[in-house]
Amino acid sequence: MTETTWLDATAQAELVRTGQASPAELVDAAIERVERVDPQLDAVIRNRFDAAREEARGELPAGPFCGVPLLLKDLGCHVAGEETNYGTSFLRDAGYRWPTDSYLAQRFRAAGFVVLGRTNVPEFGTTISTEPAAQSPARNPYDTNRSTGGSSGGSAAAVAAGLVPVAHANDGGGSIRIPAAECGLVGLKPTRARVSQGPDVGEGWAGATIDGVVTRSVRDTAAVLDVLAGPMPGDPYVAPPLARPLAGEVGAPVGRLRVGLLDVAPGEQYLDDPACRAAVEQAGRLLEELGCEVGPGMPEAMFDPQFPRFFTTTIAADVALTLSALERGALGRPIEDGDLEPRNVMYRAVGRKLSAEDYVGARMWLGRWTRRMAAFWTPRDQGGEGYDLLVTPTLAARPPELGWLTDAGPKQEGRRINSLMPFTSQFNVTGQPAISLPLHWTEEGLPIGVQLVAAFGREDVLVRVAAALEEAAPWSDRRPGVSA
């Protein structure tokens, strides 16, 4: 069989389609890589290898990714009869198995993917490093003393190390883009509601959460989103339809887009790594070479000091509700503070004290703020600034060392989290699509991500530009020190 370690999902699917490899061969090869390499990374926390082998040797759906191995994040994407533990010890110890498939799991299965297991996550996905108290931290394959990012850190480590070509991820404040940036991958956060969260969730974090994947190629990101996208009947709202499949945007002309480069320090409370600034400057030069009109620019509301407060209000309310629902359902017992990490104790306490007026007031403030943000992408003839893209660093600094977020105690944890992520959560709240690309590398060989943000509903613009940047500054030959 053809060596598959560094083939992307599109190429692996083509091997099956042309008879050069069987699904069983792809799955067996991926399982061997996980067993051999993952003990150095702790990216995969629970496997279903026997079931995967059986499925690969059976009758798989004839989807576009038939036989391609996949890992699911241990947060969301419930599969009937299987565990999803949200990075917690209490769900893990209870051995709770979800009663129904999520719509997303059905979509992955219909596409032909074969799931090998679940990946490491921080507890409830409420931080940006995958270091849960319930298990060992996920380790970055470029430097195992450093973070993979979060909350999709296990997924990112597994894909970056060549264990699988693609892995499920989701994003409520940067949790697709941040791990992609820290592990040298492509990470696209889709437009709000592009991927359904049904049937168990209407909207998470007041509409900020969305599912997707992390990959090594733009064409995989586009083609996988094509099979995941689409509303489930009963969804509270739907994303604007795309003109054509995103896979068709790969290689399409970029055109003369108006691009704003965020080239100012976001504030004293945030980190300001020169490598991240250099990454944006390099991206700007590449975009100019592609024919774009590039200059300084950012939405005037980008760093409104009240934004973190109101966004945190919605997260706290959601965490409190999630915990009470688990107490009534999956566990059937109270979840004590000692069951939780300090960060989530705080979120629950805040969420429980909120009044309905507080919560609705936060939603209303964020709605007004979102309209201020949208003006940046609104055409000039409609009173806006007329930009097509915003380019920022994905993070304010290179991947931190494991333990850095928490080693100064609970009071400092929130400040350090915020100091590292000034650029991502805004677009969870606005619902806009945003992608992180591995366009820059530090002197010690660490990846630095660059974020591109398009107008609401315009993943097509992001895919066209990302594919052109991938061709202009390819990253496919990059290999981490720990890899298959």
Catalytic residue status for 353: no
- The residue from 102, 129, 155, 175 that is catalytic is 175
Give the closest residue to 9 by CA, choosing from 218, 237, 290, 243. 218
What is the rounded CA–CA span in Å between residue 345 and residue 260? Answer: 39
Catalytic residue status for 189: no
Q: Residue 301: CA atoms inside 13 Å, Cβ hemisphere, count?
A: 21
- The residue from 102, 129, 147, 151 that is catalytic is 151
* Contact between 75 and 87 (Cβ < 8 Å): yes
What is the rounded CA–CA span in Å between residue 338 and residue 434? Answer: 36
The tokens for 250 are 């790969």
Helix, strand, or coil (residue 393): strand
> Exposed, middle or buried, 329 (CB in 10 Å: 0-12/13-18/19+)?
exposed
Q: Per residue in 110-133, is it b (16+ CB within 10 Å) or e — as a string?
A: ebbbbbbbbbbbbbbbbbbbbbbe
Helix, strand, or coil (residue 391): strand
- Asked whether the CA dihedral 413, 416, 417, 418 is positive or negative, the reply is positive
Catalytic residue status for 151: yes
So which residues are the catalytic ones?
73, 151, 175
